[in-house]
Structure 1
Amino acid sequence: MKTIKYIALFTLALGLSATSCKDAKKENIQKEPTTTVEKVVPEDLKWSERMMLSEMERFPDPTLLDFREKPKWSYTPGLVLGACSRVFEKTQKQEYFDYIYAYANTLIDSTGTIDTYSLEKQNLDMIKSGDVLLFLYPITKEERFLKAMQTLNNQLESQPTTSDGGYWHKKIYPYQMWLDGLYMAEPFHAKYAKDYIQDEAKKEKIYNHIVLQFDLIQKHSRDEKTGLLYHGWDESKEQKWANKETGNSQHFWSRGMGWYGMAMVDVLDFLPKNHPGYEKIIKYLNQYAEAVTKVQDESGLWWQVLDQGDREGNYLEATGTSMFTYTFAKGVNNGYLPEKYLGIAKKAYNALLENLVTVEANGVVNLNQCCAVAGLGGNPYRDGSFEYYIGEDIRSNDPKGTGPFIMASLELNK
């Protein structure tokens, strides 16, 4: 009996010990502080605002957009802030206007001089941030913004050209037209002419020259077999990247084609509908959309080198995909493209959200798998090879992706 009694007591002690341990653990768990991460970007907003607020969180100073260490007048802030102006127009939230204003306020002095800008360099990339001024001046009526716009227009009036009138991409890249250049310069030039050139003959001359840029790119850069356009064309055929017979670069680069698509749908906003170039650009856009759709991956995304999807090292890329999505969505919304392209845009957009967009605990949105930069020539020399395009840095939140993503989000939310 004693043995049974001792066993019973021992069992009871064990039970009490285990219970007290459990209680202690419970007590410890209850004492541990619960950590809640503050949402700096609310998740109940549309993706356009979520990405714009994420950019503002990453770059509180808009002059440092594109991971800069010091302010610079460049095309990448112009791209994101142009997208921001559309978010402002949609929401009327002051914070977006203030963010845009801060960029121009910092870089343009009281005389209208643009800090870090050089007209002598004749660089088409520098025109893109003129879109910020086209947005700000009618609201603020600050004379310095008008003078800065006039400076950028003066650059286009004096920009060196190929023998048939195509803008050189930059003075340091003589005789070369790049797809990029049409987006950098032509939407600005068309809106500036529409709103600020009073002389009708001069205005018509600018419109004609704008349409000529598209005509020449189609003539020199479009591949008849695929309908895709080569990144660059060298009239002199002297560049190492240029085909000695055609002057074209070797490959169809996703973002290069993206720039061109956005150039077409944005220029059509300002070109008069009765101008003969209006219907011509719509025709080019439809040819383009057909060609781009043929090389879309089954996932809905597009490859860095568009027609080499199965080649080792190639990857599905976010900036070009965002640009195509915007181009197709806006093209349909504005009646330039058939309805079927809206389905293609939605498929691409959903693929971006599923595969290349991530959201941090604080609500900040990231766009991943962006080609950081790509060009032709220069120093060190960029030879335009497949290995070159796939070998450039890949990063998250490149403004050349976030800007078009915001604009695509707006178009698809209509």
Structure 2
Amino acid sequence: MKFSKLKILTIAALASGLFFSCAQQPKQTNQQVSKVTRQTISTKLPWSERMMQSEMKRFPEAWMLDFHKSPKWSYPNGLVLKGAEQLFKKTGKREYYDYIKAYADELVNEDGTIKTYDINKYNLDMLNSGNVLIYLFLSTKDEKYLKGAQLLRSQLNNHPRTSEGGFWHKKIYPNQMWLDGLYMAEPFYAIYTRLFNEGAEADKAYTDIVNQFDVIQKHMVDSKTGLLYHGWDESKEQQWANKETGLSPNFWGRAMGWYGMAIVDVLDYLPENHPGRTKLIGYLKSYSEALLKVQDTKTGLWYQVLDKGGQKGNYLEASASSMFVYTFAKAARKKYLPTSYKTVAKKAYAGILKNLITVEPNGVVNLNKNCAVAGLGGTPYRSGTYDYYVNEEIRSNDPKGTGPFILASLELEK
């Protein structure tokens, strides 16, 4: 891709006003910068920094996030590093920037190819960490990051789709859309479009992005509760799929968490005059109203299976609760939702601190009761039943929980 001087200036101007305004090149100063190798993490720091520094202590290299034993290009890394980006912008502490850059430099080659990434797998999960590459390109102007982002964006050119244009979650899951995929692909797609496309090309991309949400809303919203099912199989061939609707049988908390974060993050980049904005905000409102009805009244948290809080084995789950706090707090700040949702977010956040957070003697913060992973189909086969969801592994400090916790904390600390 070649850029004119005008386009480069446009990119710089956009970057200064968007999320990636934090993408300045860090400068060396004479000030002593605190290091995460310190013995104790200070309790005087805000929760966002306490959790970020705890993650850096647990996982000294960002590729280790999600408990990886060797470097791997994956989506949880980008989720936590988004928090690191915002913390660098807020504090100027170089340790956060260095943590981000080290991840990309370990995984991205000089020619922009990405270690462990195979474009031919057409896996939406692989796109989320592309946000890291755009951020680093804006801060360094190093072409390898741009080439890596271009490679990831090119996946969408031939990514398999449903008959209505919805991206399959992965090539190995034919004809299926999962709520997870909206967060994995659409914010990256929207950021890339805003920065690097223009005219008819950009208009086409924005329409495509909004259409992903349109297809989800058409097929995956439950008419009785307003909640969204985890997955939809257009072919209705999967064992987990309802033979009439193609829907999976349950409302998984984190799946809806991904979806809400996808909406509020895409809205950061969708042009103000785009007709899709009104639709997305409408989707967000109905989504949020449905979540209020299944919020645990005592703790303010949400359950692993959202509408079955009283059933045996169900539990108040950390990652989904953190995602909902982030979504509500950001949406209230941006005025997509009434200000009352900030009160909802604060109650839920207090519930997280009281019920799901523990702190070790050295100040390391733990986020407990995270569902490690949940999906549909595959080998061994994941049925999507209630028993399946409540019996998946539960672990502490899963980045799919700690990342949203950092982002939620940053929103409420503003």
Under a length normalisation based on structure 2, what TM-score does the superposition of the two structures give?
0.90
What corresponds to 1:274 in structure 2? 273
> What per-residue deviation string (whole Å, max 9, x for no partner) do you get for residues 125-161 of structure 1?
0000001112111101110000000011100121110
Q: Distance in 2 between matches of 1:92 and 1:337?
A: 31
Distance 1:367 1:241 in 2: 31
SS in 1 for 2:193: helix
Question: Are residues 1:410 and 2:378 paired?
Answer: no
SS in 1 for 2:373: coil
SS at match of 2:156: helix
Amino acid at match of 1:189: Y
Q: How far apart are the structure 2 equivalents of 1:339 and 1:193? A: 30
Q: CA deviation at 1:39?
A: 4.3
Distance 1:303 1:144 in 2: 42
Q: How many residues align?
A: 376
Partner of 1:208: 207
AA aligned to 2:52 is: M
Equivalent residue, structure 1, for 2:136: 136
What residue is the counterpart of 1:119 in the other structure?
A: 119
Aligned to 1:294: 293
Shift in Å at residue 40 of structure 1?
Answer: 2.7
How much does 1:88 deviate? 1.0
Q: Show CA shifts across 1:111-131 (max 9, x none).
A: 111000000000000000001
CA distance in 2, matches of 1:105, 1:270: 26
Aligned to 1:169: 169
Per-residue CA deviations over 1:279-307 (Å, capped at 9, x if unaligned) read 11001001111000110001111000000
Gaps of 5+ in 1: 1-37
Separation in 1, partners of 2:169, 2:107: 23
Specify the alignment match of 2:147 in structure 1: 147
Structure 2 residue aligned with 1:86: 86
Matched letter for residue 85 of structure 1: E
Of the two, which has the highest radius of gyration? 1
In 2: Cα distance, 1:99 partner to 1:40 partner = 19
Contact 1:39–1:361, Cα closer than 8 Å, also in 2: no
User: Aligned partners of 1:348 and 1:112: how far apart in 2?
Assistant: 41
Give the distance between the partners of 2:92 and 2:197, measured in 1 at CA: 29
Residue 18 of structure 2 is matched in structure 1 by none
Following the alignment from structure 2 to structure 1, what is the Cα–Cα distance between the partners of residues 88 and 343? 27
| Whole-angstrom distance in 1 between the partners of 2:134 and 2:210 | 21
Deviation at 1:246, TM superposition (A): 0.2
RMSD of Structure 2 on Structure 1 (CA)? 0.7
1:85-118: CA deviation from partner (whole Å, max 9, x where unpaired): 1111111110000000000000001111100000
Partner of 1:320: 320
How far residue 344 of structure 1 moved from its aligned partner, in angstroms, is 0.5
Residues 376-395 of structure 1 correspond to what in structure 2 (within 5 A)? 376-395=376-395
For residues 235 and 55 of structure 1, the distance between their equivalents in structure 2, rounded to whole angstroms, comes to 39
**Counterpart Cα distance in 2 of 1:53 and 1:183:** 25
Partner of 2:183: 183
> Are 1:229 and 2:228 an aligned pair?
yes
Aligned to 1:241: 240
Match of 1:362 in 2: 362
Task: Give the Cα–Cα distance (whole angstroms) in 2 for the partners of residues 74 and 367 of structure 1.
Answer: 21
**Distance in 2 between residues matched to 1:303 and 1:372, nearest whole Å:** 14
Question: Aligned with 1:158: secondary structure?
Answer: coil
Task: Give the Cα separation in 2 of the matches to 1:238 and 1:304.
Answer: 26
1:47 paired residue number: 47
Report SS of the residue matched to 2:314: coil
Instruction: Measure the CA separation in 2 of the matches of 1:94 and 1:245.
Output: 54
Cα distance in 2, alignment partners of residues 371 and 99 from structure 1: 25
Give 3-state SS (helix, strand or coil) of 1:162's partner. Answer: coil
| C-alpha separation in 2, matches of 1:86 and 1:182 | 22
Whole-angstrom CA distance in 2 between matches of 1:136 and 1:43: 30
Give structure 2 stretches of 5+ with no counterpart: 1-37
Cα shift readout 1:167-221 (whole Å, capped 9, x = no counterpart): 00000000000000000000000010000113x1010000000000000000010
Amino acid at match of 1:238: E
| Partners of 1:237 and 1:245 within 8 A in 2 | yes
One-letter amino acid matched to 2:43: E
Give the whole-Å Cα distance in 1 for the aligned partners of 2:157 and 2:277.
22
TM-fit CA distance, 1:410: 0.4
Q: Distance in 2 between matches of 1:146 and 1:190?
A: 15
Distance, in Å, in 2 between the alignment partners of 1:413 and 1:39 is 25
Tell me the distance in 2 between the aligned counterparts of 1:367 and 1:98.
Answer: 24
Distance in 1 between the 2:212 and 2:40 partners? 43
- Alpha-carbon deviation of 1:73? 0.1
For the residues of structure 1 that align with 2:243 and 2:41, how far apart are their CA atoms? Answer: 52
